[in-house]
Amino acid sequence: MSSTVAPFPEGFLWGGATAANQIEGAYAEGGKGLSIQDVMPHGIMTPRAEGPTEDNLKQVAIDFYHRYAQDIALFAEMGFRTFRFSIAWSRIFPRGDEAEPNEEGLAFYDRVLDECEKHGIEPLVTISHYETPLHLAEQYDGWVNRDLIGFYERYARALLSRYGHRVKYWLTFNEINSVLHAPFMSGGINTPKDQLSASDLYQAVHHELVASALATKVAREVAPQAQVGCMILAMPAYPLSPDPDDVMAALTTDRTNLAFGDIHVRGEYPGYYLRRLREAGVELQITDEDRALLKEYTVDFVSFSYYVSICETADPAKRVVGQGNIFGGVPNPHLQASEWGWQIDPVGLRVVLNQFWDRWQKPLFIVENGLGAKDELVEVDGVTTVVDDYRIAYLNDHLVQVGEAIADGVEVMGYTTWGCIDLVSASTAQLSKRYGFIYVDRDDEGSGTLERYKKKSFDWYAEVIATQGASLRQG
């Protein structure tokens, strides 16, 4: 027996999310410099290339750079209240260390914002989303180097000065905690991961956290009406069994991610994080100014991505590796996995929302959630489409749990599905791993017309938005 879900609150920001390097293309147009993504033709799965290569789908991506007006009009047709996109740092500062920004790059995002305003869509802008300028990676070793704080502040100031009166919601770094797992993609750290010392890695983390606080400071100065949020990868860890050692193992893993929210919201390093650093032999170089910035310039809201949960155990014999634990941990025997081994856990989203709200008492924004799957174009009543009932079921079940969390008393600002239009995957750099409501005709070989086609989920999401979630099915 199914039943409808209570409507979501008025003002709830429904929409979709993307990243510049995964949609824009035009990697060498408009004065843009190279970013780390231009030497990552196969995502995080293989070592970086020396330079741009023709097999890098991100060079063209889905050509949003030239088709943004068409795409934003499609988002408006679905009823989007917000559109999350990132600004490519190397479009604004091609090397990253210049004194003045590139006007042609700034003008492009003015045009994107024009289209959002035309359709009444609130922009949600990520300042840095896995696209550190390549020059900063190669010449400075990315965020290992304290100099990047100043370069980032200059970049953030350029954006907030130019767009602060047009953009209310800002995110400082995408999935900032991911630098621990993917230091080149997330932190522009050119030193290979297996050669990177714990001291350098955690010092890079510190530099990003200080830079995030500085961006908040700049926003307070030049765009006081703006709201600044952090963005973390949420991945709840469950104990594999009731064994207290398993419970402790899960808590320890959970805190790996929670620490980033703790620091952004509370303005200081938690004791458990300091213990981890001590036991790793890490002594951070922290100035008094750093401490003051972290303490004074905390975030207005917490945003996060949610795709999977994991299990943890203290028993080495149970630490099996296989499908369902691509993010570490061990597979949950009660959950199914996607085609890419990501375990599907809608209730975990409600768990995260309640955990974050109880812990931080800050408004929460779900800025990534979605199902990567292989879609097939078909003809239905003479219309080219994708019958993606699997995606509808996934999103429906997750949104039902968001509704439950709101009923629990959690303050949720909005929900933006990841890859609202098909884009190049960050992890594998494939186009066949599709998330969107809109199919883009391009394959993993780079062939295709780049034409856009509405999937079945397009109309489904439009109805969800139009009914404030009342069309969602529970049970």
Kindly state the helix (H) or strand (E) to which residue 277 belongs, with its residue range. Answer: helix 271-279
Distance separating alpha carbons of residues 337 and 313, to the nearest angstrom: 20
User: What crossing angle do the helices spanning 64-78 and 103-118 adopt, rounded to 10°?
Assistant: 20
- 315 sits in the region (left: phi over 0; alpha: psi -120 to 50; else beta) called beta
Which two tokens mark 106? 């700034």
- Cα dihedral angle (185, 190, 195, 196), rounded to 10 degrees? -70
Q: Token digits for 347?
A: 């209730």
- The confidence score (pLDDT) of residue 321 equals 62
Write down the pLDDT at residue 324: 47
Element holding 471 (H helix, E strand): none
Q: Does the CA dihedral 274-278-279-283 come out positive or negative?
A: positive
- What's this model's pTM, rounded to 2 decimal places? 0.96
Q: What is the reported pLDDT for 337?
A: 87
Contact 253, 181 (CB under 8 A): no
Q: Which residues are catalytic?
A: 175, 368
| Cα separation, 467 vs 92, whole angstroms | 39
What's 43's DSSP letter? G
d(CA 153, CA 40): 26
Query: Which class for 263: exposed (0-12), middle (13-18), buried (19 or more C-beta within 10 A)?
Result: buried
Give the pLDDT confidence score for residue 266 in this predicted structure: 98
Return the SS3 of 185: helix
Among the listed residues 423, 426, 415, 422, the one whose alpha carbon sits nearest the alpha carbon of residue 461? 415
pLDDT tens for each residue of the chain, 475 residues long: 456 667 899 999 999 999 999 999 999 999 999 999 999 999 987 889 999 999 999 999 999 999 999 999 999 999 999 999 999 999 999 999 999 999 999 999 999 999 999 999 999 999 999 999 999 999 999 999 999 999 999 999 999 999 999 999 999 999 999 999 999 999 999 999 999 999 999 999 999 999 999 999 999 999 999 999 999 999 999 999 999 999 999 999 999 999 999 999 999 999 999 999 999 999 999 999 999 999 999 999 999 999 999 999 999 888 876 544 456 788 899 999 888 788 999 999 999 999 999 999 999 999 999 999 999 999 999 999 999 999 999 999 999 999 999 999 999 999 999 999 999 999 889 999 999 999 999 999 999 999 999 999 999 999 999 999 999 998 7
Cβ 179 vs Cβ 186: under 8 Å: yes
Backbone angles phi, psi at 384, to 5 degrees: -80, 125
CB 272 within 8 A of CB 249: no
Distance CA 426, CA 433 (A): 10
